[in-house]
Structure formats: structure tokens, C-alpha cells
Chain A
Amino acid sequence: MAVTLVILVPLALAAAALAWPDARSRPWLLLAGAGAHAAGMVALWLRPEPPLAEGYLFLDAAGKVVLSTTSALFLATAVYAQGYLRRRPEKDNRVFVSGLLGLLAAMTVVGLAQHLGILWVAIELTTLATAPLIYFNRNARSLEAAWKYLLVSSLGIALALLGTFFIALSGAGPGGPRSLLVGALVEAGPGLSKPWVRAAFVFLLVGYGTKMGLAPLHSWKPDAYGEAPGILGALLAGGVTNVAFLSLARVFQVTRAAGEAAFACDALIGLGLLSMALAAVFMAGQRDFKRMLAYSSVEHMGILAIGLGLGGGAVAGAFYHVLNNGLAKGVLFLTAGNIHRAYGSKRVDEVRGASRRLPLSGPLFFAGFLAVTGTPPFSPFWSEFVILNGALGKGRYAVGGLFILFLAVVFVGMGATVLKVVQGDDRGAPERPGFADSWLTAGPPLALLASVLALGLWLPAPLAALFRSAAALMGGS
């Protein structure tokens, strides 16, 4: 029941949005969708439901982590959108609202899918739903970003499909499961054909890695995040990348069951470290604060990959980080959107004194920076710490050392840029009259930040247990 609620209601609302005549009231549909989704998630928390549609859809622990994050983030962005879209009456919001709701439905399907085919379809749907949204601003830059996003993502997704076929083939031999259900594949375990699993993992890593934005597959990210509205940036960085991570984790589940974990772990850690390194390089002296956030997302995807690859306790840390990163990214992208609106620019050379012009969004942007870079007592600190612990506890000092090094470099690089935006005197900076902080635009990031802080101070036991059981699925603890 609740499962249908979280999928079908957003889908229906997406269709309704296309048909809805009034542009002013259309954003309410977002709120309705977000509310229904949140209600459905609460219901699923309170009363877990049995597998649906022959086991194709089932909310397990890993999916629960991702979908809860998505739901919370979507709720915040839906509230934000009320204020945001009201300020942009000149743009037609029909496709935007519908696309967001469609995205929500697609992400939900990814979270629920226990079948790699369904999973792939839903991932592709997230791409298709977001590509027009990136073009929301209807200018050359956003068009370029949308094209790049679409092409690179589709490329990745095509490779992922090939990988999915490989997996299907690995179980096609005599006595194989002949199914793409994760459960069946894991059960078959070592019976899967090794060469196919090996090839499949590589293709799926590249495919879903592109969607996640792991370096060097991240290239679409800065462009898309830089040109998309803040709302979409938040949902991409805190939602879509997370579901892509979940997809990768499902593949990892199968690969591990087939006894191919060693390479998978190495590849994940390798790409993770590469992502962090690349983010560090590209954040230093970054001149566009929204692109900077994109690189931060690359960095955090790297962290997730490392957490998954390290195994053991670090996997739980990775799922913890899914939640933390999602919420913190929401804070950053929404406030960055506000700052972008208030200045009409996202160039660091031009934007300054944001904390003066936007007394809520400016400091929130800075606080979001502190949170996302792992400053205690914000919750990302804990998840990063757990992952670091996983590395050092296993004696992988090189990984741990690089992890710390990159975190430090990123902090310095990102902080310099954030501070240039936030502090100083805003006189003389470009102005766009009529935009000031309101509770609708500053309230949602504030709420997200508060939840990040609250999770840092007290992690409820059910959540902690959830991370552990999600990790247990991936062979962690």
C-alpha cells in the first residue's frame, strides 16, 4: 500500500502537473507529492511491507537509507520551490514541476528495485526526467549543460545496460538463476559465471559511476550543477547520486556473492581516492561557487565508494554518509541558489558579502560548508570518521592517509572560495533587486542544517541499526 503511495502518487502528480492549467498554483503539486512520499516513508518505517510484484520491489535496509534521505530532501526542496518558483514567474514551470515529481518517482523505484533490470530502467528515467530541468533557465549555457548531461549520462547508462546483460548471462548457464533479481543472484553466488561477472562489474561500475559522478566519469557534473537551479542541484547531488550509489551497491552485492569482491573493492577504493584527489585539485581556487559544489559532490561520491570498498565497519559509515551528505548538500545547493538569485552571478570574483546581503542564507552557506567538510559536531564528521576508522583499523594506512590529506586539501580549497562569497562588504557587487531571504527560501536549508546538526549530536538507535543492516547486505558490519 505504502509502496504504491510512494511510487504512484508522485507519478500521477507528475502527469497532473503537465495538465494543470494554473502556473501559480502548480508548485503546490510538488508539496503534495513530497508530503505523500514522506507519509509513505513514515508508514514504511512504522510497518515494513512484504516484497511486491514477485519480489521485484522491496524496501530493504539499504533502500530505506537512500529513500528516507531522498524523501527528506525532496520535502525541503518542495517547500523551497514554493518560494523559488514564485520569484520566477517569467519561466514556465510546467515541465519543471512535472519533471521533479517524475524524478521523485524514478528515484523511489530505484530505491525499491530488487531487480537489476527495473533498477536500470529507473536510473535511466532519472536521467530523462532531469535533462529538461537543467535547461530550466533557457539559455545557451544551460542548454550546453543539459546536452552534456544527457549525452554522458546516456553513454554511462548504455554501458550499464550492457553490464546488466552480462550479469544476466552470468546466471544463464545450466542451473543458473536465469533471473536478474538480486536475491536470486546472491543466492546463486559462486555458481555465477566468473568471466561475465568480472566484465559486468567493470561495465556497471563505469555506467553507474557515471551517474554517481565518480572521477573520471564526473565530467558532466560541474556543468549540470553549475547551470541547473539550486533545487535541482540539491536533488541531483543529494538524491540522484545517492540512488546511483545504491545501484552500484546492489551490483557490488552480486559481485561479492560471486566471489569477485577483491577486485571490486580495489576498484572502488581506487576510483574513490581518484575522485577525492580530483575534487581537491578542482576546488582549489575555483571561481564559480556552484561548480565548486559539484566538485564537492564528486568528492563525497568518492568517500562513499571508499567506504563501500573498504568493507567492514566502513560500509555502515558509507550508508551513514549517504544520509549526511544528502542533507548537507541540500543546505549548500539551496543557499547557493539563493545567493545566485540575489547577485545574479555565481562568479566568486563578483559575489561577496553574502552574509550581509542575505543574513540567513549567507551564514547557512558557510555552516553548510563546515558541515559537509566534516567539522564536528555536524553529522558528516561522524560518518567520515567511521570510514577513516575502517581504513586505519584495517591497517590500510595509505588509504587513510590519502583520505585525510584530500579532506584537508578540500577543506582549504573549498573554504577559501566559500569565504570569499560569504564575507566582506557587498557594496559594489552585482545586484538583483527584489530578492531577499524569506522563510520559504531560507527555512528549508535551515531545517536541513538543523537536522544535520541534530544527527551529529544524537543518532537515534533505529537509524544506527539501519545503517548496520544496510552494511550487512553489502558484507560490511
Chain B
Amino acid sequence: MVLRAFFQVSLLLLAPPLLVGIVNRVKALFAGRRGPPLLQAYYDLAKLLRKGAVFSRTTTWVFRAGPAIGLAAVFLSGLLLPLGGERALVSFRGDFLLLAYLLALGRFFTALAALDTGSSFEGMGAAREVSFASIAEPALFLCFVVLARATGTLSLSGMLGAGLGAAWRESAPALLLAGIALFVVALAENARIPVDDPNTHLELTMIHEVMVLDHSGPDLALILYGASMKLFLFGAVVVRLALGGLPPASASLAGAAFLAGLGLFAAVVGVTESVMARLRLTRVPQMLVGASVLSTFALVLLLR
């Protein structure tokens, strides 16, 4: 038990930056470059943590608290996730609601921190972030509702646990639709192409990155770390959903499959980013509403 907790927490704490490394590496390969080392994200974090920081005179404690609260929220939501089909550390009826709302809390404070700077660019980014997120939220919920119905449980550990196999056998189409919707939501939530471009530095077009323009030093490290952890979380859900249909195997085998799947998820994200262009901002809500419609359809399939 304790051991399992230890493994889970360490995985949650250590793996995320690697995922970012994979994504970047894949993108570099597609662009014909060699790209940064896989562990570059870790180096960046370490460097930032060692640095000082510059604070705008406009800012207040909200600006300083934002990154810490954001990271805490993402970390705690990580505790709710069953990694690789194992029971999560914290699991109860309706825990996925807490997960979604924790992510919302992080977003809320990130947006406030952005507004705290008084910069019009950051205000713009914050506006886009909260707007798109509020449209993505129901889509995410619908995916979870589909999962809940398919597996007959209301906790993440149940939804993404052993029951998933039976669910795939019974209602594969619904789960497939939900999975696609979930992937779309994951892209949006993690500020990935086609919703947002983490690499661009043209402020007018950005969403997430522009919100954190003024953060520096350890605060920026917390933000980047949190972002990678969020990517990890979504990856974990998508991968577990995809792998859930496989026949049960031993714990170690399942764990290995899960890790491999995570790597694959990062690679797919990288590929998507490389082959797609960023959508026009006005198209983003359409895409997210589309995800909602897909998952509603999936729910109808299950309830009819």
C-alpha cells in the first residue's frame, strides 16, 4: 500500500517533464532538426528555480500566489487519478468532479495572476483561457459521464479501472467517441495546437503562454512544471481509456504498457502539433462544442 503510494506519487512528480521532452523531440524530428535533449525540461526547471525574479510594480500577492496554487491544484488532482489501472490514492464517488474543479481553480488563479499585471496582452490571454475552458468543461464532464455510465461507477478509479474491459466489450462505439472527445479536450486544456501554440511568441495569438509573460524565476518554474503535470494527467486518462480494452495482464506488464502508452500519447501530441495548423480563435469554441456533441452522442448510445 505504502509502496504503491510511493510509486504513484513519484511517477506523478517525476514523469511529467519527460512527456514535454518527448513532445518537443517529436516536433523537432518532424521539422528536420535534432531538437533538445529529452530531459531539457528538467534542466530548465532546475535553472529557473535557482534564479531570482522580477516583479512588476503593479502586481500584488495574487500574482505571487497564482503559480503555487496552480501547481498545488494540479498535483492534488493527480492524486485522484489511477495511474495504469491501479486504484488511485484518493478515490471516492464523484471524485472526477473534484479533479475538474481543481483544474479550474488553477486556471482561475493563473488568470487572476495575469490580470494582476495590468497588461493588456495578459488580460487578453486570460480572457481566452477562461472562455475556452468554460466551453471545454462540459465536454470533459460529458466524457466522464459516458465513462461512468459505461463502467457503472462514479469514481475515477472505477471508471479507469478493471471495469473498463467489460465496458469496451459492451459499448465500444460510445467509448471510442468519448475517447476522441477527451483527446480534443486534452489538447485544448494543455494549450496545444490546434487550439494554442506553446512555441509561438507572437503575443496577440497566444492563450496560455501569454498569461505567464511576467512570471520569472521559481514562479515560472512552478508554472511550467504544473503545465507538464497537467499534460501528464490528461495523457494518463486518455491512455488508460485506450488501454482499458486490453485483456487483463499482470501488474508489472500493465504498468509497462501504461508507461509506453504515455510515451505514445506524447508522440501523438507531437505529431498532431507538427502536421496541423493552429485554428483561428473563433473556430476553437466550435471544436470544443463539437467534442461536447460527440460525447453527448456517446451518452445517448449508452442510455437509449
Question: Do A's and B's CB atoms come within 8 Å in the complex?
Answer: no
